[in-house]
Structure 1
Amino acid sequence: MLITVDRRDREDGMRDVEVLVVGAGLAGLRALYGFRAEGFETLVLEASDEVGGVWNHNRYPGARCDVESYDYSYSFSKELEQEWRWTERYPTQPEILRYINHVADRFALRQDIEFQARVDVARFDEATATWEVEVQDGRRFRCRFLVLCLGQLSAPKLPHYPGQDSFAGETIVSATWPKDRGVDFTGKRVGILGTGSSGMQMTPVIAQTAAHVTVFQRTANYSVPAANAPLDDEEDRQVKANYAARRDLMRNSPTGLGFLPGKTKTLDVPEEEREAVFEKAYHRLGFGFALAYPDILLDEKANDAATEFLKRKIGERVSDPDLRRKLVPDNHRFGTRRPSVDSGYYEAFSRDNVELADIRAHPIVSFTQDGIITDIKHHELDVVIYATGFDALTGSILKPDIRGRGGLRLRDKWAGGPLTHFGIGTSGFPNMLIVGGPGSPSVLSNVMVSIEEQVDWFVAFLCHLRECGVGEVEVTEAAEQEWTAHVQERARETLYMTADSFYNGGELPGKPRVFMPYSGGVRNYRRLLQAAATNGYTGFELRPVPKAVEVAHDH
């Protein structure tokens, strides 16, 4: 049996648990359910006062998932699959949050969650092979295993401009949207900084009530229509009758999106046929347009064909020639930065109250008390919204002070870029597991599929350790070096490194320029995980509980 720490609350105020999960978003809840089901005493620490993670915080108008609702859901319970009724093809933030809360209530998960518990420090104690964790309010915890479920896009980044603090109007960050009050834009002049998914989704919604909206665009982005629609009872019945086959297809696809790209390459078909395939994908697949052909993200000429099609489609949605020139991307290929899905973004610029400020051509000079000055205009504003994205993939993990063997700081170890084995562990940090970490498919996949794949593997791993009496497990340096090199090698087979993006650290000045998600596909990644488990968990050193702990428990 796995020997654990004493589970009683200690006299020094330290609370002991077997598995400590950080984060109560989709990954954290799934981890809690999985570990608890196998008898591991598990506790979740959540920084906010509610479950939901990114879907609890990103409450901005128009927030919507770019994965179909039936696929953006848990598969661990057949009863849950059948009883939950999605209302739209691509779910909105409120509906996703209702689903997450339903799961938390239905499976009694809240009883094992400590809310308003933001982790400040986590230190590995080599003498006992345990982690000591402290949250901001001083609460302290000790655990055998530390499982980080902090999300890939959950650490907001903000720009820095002269005079920002002088702005007297309201300032809102899209990633931490106010949830304790409504935000009324009626009659207000609104500035939106950022044209990623958040900016593109909120612009047409806010424009419906605001007196004026100015969109400050540094980089024009590709977007395809969300193709959203209500779900009728017949479609719901058909999906639920064939859910098992649908799930199997998702798990065996490259992206977890539930369909496979064809085997025919983009340029191996006549132009007329290719145009028809693009047209169909454009009006139905959303983000999945990138899989209309298997080589769109691999071959420059294939990508050129897809890129030119999308530029043409964007142009058709923008009537003004000058606006069209600014809104059509010209400095990166389609898919090399995360494309968006939108509902009326380009059409919003045909409204009299919507204006584009091209800050690449005319940079922001400074903020003022009542607006923003570019080098050609003073934009008077009542509200400024930062839809400026995230310190992706590593930002949330490196925010706490995590110290491993010998006091090594994780942020120091990863100073040149993340080093992991399978994206789930790093040497020098025993008994620490990461869900959706750099080096795993994460943002290049339907994250729900990747979350469940990893969590189930983790649970089986800990069961194996318990059966073998293993108290400490650590990634080897050789394994993480080999995997990190493999991640970069697979990335070089694609077009991803031809543009700066949050995939490769290009979203922040000074961030290491390395490719972070695994581009080898969901199916291939799962096979590699399974092979490692079958071969005795290759790449990990398994050690017994330290003698001092064994002696203490004998007494």
Structure 2
Amino acid sequence: MLDETKTRKRNPLPTEIDALVIGTGVAGLYQLHQLRELGLNAHACDTATDVGGTWYWNRYPGAKFDSESYIYQYLFDERLYKDWTWSERFPGQREIERWLHYVTDRLDLRRDISFSTTITSARFDEVRGLWTVETDQGDVVTTRYLIGCTGMLSAPLTERFPGQASFKGKIVHTGRYPKEGLALEGKRVAVIGTGATGIQVIQTIAPEVAQLTVFVRTPQYVLPMKNPKYGPKEAAWYKDRFDELKTTIPHTFTGFEYDFENTWADLTPERRREILEEIYADGSLKLWLASFVEMFFDEEVSEEISEFVREKMRARLKDPRLIDILVPKKGDYGFGTHRVPLETQYLEAYLRDNVEAVSVRDNPIAEIVPEGVKLEDGTVYEVDTIIMAVGFDAGSGALARIDITGRGGMKLAEEWRKDIRTMLGMMKHGFPNLFMTGAPLAPSAALCNMTTCLQQQTEWITNCIRDIRASGNDVIEPTKEGEDAWVQHHDETAEATLIAKTDSWYTGSNVPGKPRRVLSYTGGVGVYRDKCEAIAKEGYPSFKMSKAKTTKVA
């Protein structure tokens, strides 16, 4: 159990600081540590009652890694890495949360964190070059640098259907699952959504509920997870690889330990099939992230690999009705152009007598009624509990929900309602000294092992602040020309992929009215890192630095 006594008393925010970090997940914790090491008076705040970010909020049944545990780690400190031992290849939420507590306490970060504190507004003072930040607790903070480590999937779409307030049972979003859990045993439960999160919930609760009704709109390609336990031998194996992993992971295409090594055109059909079978048997995301990169660009290659996965799924389901509902069809979308989930007996859950799959593709959910879920044709499914795995306003959502005002009264939310634009996914023209991680137009928005990319981004931000100060300046902002050039490069790279042609949260199409753009940089994690480093080495030519009218944070 986690020690809740550590969070009972709220640390007040200082009124004047050098840097304020929003969020205490993987990015926020490391960012706070680095800023303190830089000698800054830095502080962090979080709406949650403790650290963890994604792994604080997403405590729904079955929540776990689908990145291997030994690569979803900080690599800046060998002892920090080696002094923690994982119990299995893909551990669950509770163990992940304990790991983040271990990191927090090891680095003594709590003294500079205010929990149960939500940033409500931030306004940039162009004369002083400072941000004035307000919170829901009445704090007013003046800071030179504002860093949003708010997460790429942390703005849940909670109000998705008319009538939700009328439901007489319990209704929860997986991204805000109650800390005390829900009593589901013997209940009639509905799960809405079959993305990566919904799949974890469904496969976990199917054996314990009386009746499980799953509403399926978009069937998913799924890969079976192999999750061996780790003992001393396995722990020694991955810990001995620390130097290797630290050297290689940041430069792979997706920030995992594996990378694309095969070329489709160079191989016979028989050899291609052998490779697909070998990688499929690995029980990881390797088929998606390290088989054939051509699947993201070539429709024929995409279709062949997609059919390979569909074949595997059909063989497990057997039932023609379930296959029709749960297996993507040719022409829907290609394998890998959506987020690919790992699962454990997910498809087999639908073979249970107490589980029903309901297609809402052509007969969508019309509303939530007091008794349950009502479809467009008038059918009502009566349930006791509704679990909504209906997704997030990805990338831009969390920061856009804060009233952030930049130069000339520019509102970040309004700018992103017009067009999703950033510079490197870390800054925005018109918003000086506002840094961000996990934001649009960087690999961390979707296509990366998150710790790999978040470490890189926070390190770049820290070095940028160091360089600003060393130059005798206080303020940095991307130029319009610099941002335009990055957006153009991002779009040219993304538009060459099949991802851009597919409706999903990767393109923002799950949020009505959100400007369409591939949210994640698709040029590769290693390439992105190189581009970021080159900009810094060249003296930030795409940015403007300046001296504030006052050097005091007051």
Q: TM-score, normalised by structure 1?
A: 0.94
Match of 1:520 in 2: 523
Taking the aligned partners of 1:141 and 1:150, their CA distance within structure 2 comes to 18
Measure how far apart 1:319 and its partner are: 2.3
Deviation at 1:526, TM superposition (A): 0.8
Residue correspondence of structure 1 range 84-233 to structure 2 within 5 A: 84-158=84-158, 160-179=160-179, 181-233=180-232
Contact 2:164–2:367 (CA<8 Å) still a contact in 1?
Answer: yes
8 Å contact from structure 1 (residues 420, 426) kept in 2: yes
**Runs of at least 5 residues in structure 2 that lack an aligned partner in the other structure:** 1-12
Deviation at 1:441, TM superposition (A): 0.6
Letter aligned with residue 351 of structure 1 = R
The answer as to whether partners of 2:60 and 2:181 remain within 8 angstroms in 1 is no
RMSD: 1.6
In the alignment, the residues of structure 1 paired with residue 14 and residue 226 of structure 2 have an alpha-carbon distance, to the nearest angstrom, of 51
> For residues 303-346 of structure 1, what are the alpha-carbon distances to aligned partners after superposition, in whole Å with 9 as ceiling and x for unaligned?
11110000001111102111111111122111111111111110
Residue equivalent to 1:10: none
Given that residues 31 and 458 in structure 2 are in contact (C-alpha distance below 8 angstroms), is that contact kept between their aligned partners in structure 1? yes
Paired residues for 1:408-423 under 5 Å: 408-423=410-425
Looking at structure 2, the residues matched to 447 and 80 of structure 1 have their Cα atoms a distance apart, in angstroms, of: 18
The DSSP-based 3-state class of the residue aligned with 1:43 is strand
3-state SS of the aligned residue for 1:121?
Answer: strand
Q: Could you tell me which residue of structure 2 aligns to residue 7 of structure 1? A: none
Q: 1:441-460, aligned counterparts within 5 Å?
A: 441-442=443-444, 443-460=446-463
1:342 and 1:235, CA in 2 relative to 1: closer, same or farther beyond 3 A?
A: same
Higher mean C-alpha deviation, range 289-298 or range 113-122: 289-298
Listed as ranges, the matches of 1:460-471 within 5 Å are: 460-471=463-474
Tell me the secondary structure at the aligned position of residue 47 of structure 2: coil
8 Å Cα contact 1:267-1:302 kept in structure 2:
no
- 1:223 and 1:339 in contact (8 A); partners too: yes
Structure 2 match to 1:308: 307
Which residue is 1:424 aligned to? 426
Instruction: Indicate the residue corresponding to 1:473 in structure 2.
Output: 476
The 1:502/1:160 distance shift into structure 2, 3 A limit, reads closer
1:533 equivalenced with 2:536 (yes/no): yes
Give the Å deviation of 1:444: 0.4
SS in 2 for 1:329: coil
Aligned to 1:279: 277
Secondary structure of the corresponding residue to residue 24 of structure 2? coil
Q: Counterpart in 2 of 1:63?
A: 63
* 1:305-454 alignment runs, 5 A limit: 305-330=304-329, 331-374=332-375, 375=377, 377-442=379-444, 443-454=446-457
- CA deviations 1:265-310 (Å, max 9, x no partner) are 2243222221221122222252231221121212111111110000
Q: Which structure 1 residue ranges, 5 or more long, are not aligned?
A: 1-12
Check 1:422–1:378 CA distance in 2 against 1; reply closer, same or farther (3 A cut): same
CA shift at 1:102, angstroms? 0.6
Deviations 1:382-416 (A, max 9, x none): 10111101011111010000000111101122222
- Within a 5 Å distance, the mapping from 1:216-295 to structure 2 comes to 216-262=215-261, 264-284=262-282, 286-290=284-288, 291-295=290-294
How many Å separate the matches in 2 of 1:414 and 1:199? 28
- Note the C-alpha offset of 1:365: 3.4
* Identity in percent: 36
Is the CA contact (8 Å cut-off) linking 1:307 and 1:334 kept in structure 2?
yes
What amino acid sits opposite 1:121 in the alignment?
S
User: In 1, are the aligned partners of 2:396 and 2:416 still within 8 Å (CA)?
Assistant: no
Q: Is the 8 A contact 2:169 2:384 kept in 1?
A: yes
Cα pair 1:159 1:388 within 8 Å, conserved: no
1:437 & 1:20 partners in 2: Cα distance? 17
Runs of 4+ in 1 over 6 A off after TM superposition: none
1:149-173 deviation line (CA, Å, top 9, x unaligned): 0000000013543433221111111
Q: How many angstroms does 1:227 deviate by?
A: 1.6
1:542 aligns with 2:552: no
Contact 2:132 2:142 in 1 (8 A): yes
AA matched with 1:171: I
String of CA shifts for 1:9-50, please: whole Å, max 9, x gaps: xxxx97000011011111000100111111111100111111
The residue type equivalent to 2:224 in the other structure is: P
Kept in 1: contact 2:172–2:386 (CA 8 A): yes
* Secondary structure at the counterpart of residue 251 of structure 1: helix
Q: Is the 8 A contact 1:319 1:350 kept in 2?
A: no
Q: State whether residues 122 and 134 of structure 1, in contact with CA within 8 Å, keep that contact through their aligned partners in structure 2.
A: yes
Q: Is the 8 A contact 1:145 1:432 kept in 2?
A: yes
Quote the residue 2:3 is aligned against.
Answer: none
How far off its partner does 1:418 sit? 2.0
**Structure 1 residue 197 displacement after superposition:** 0.8
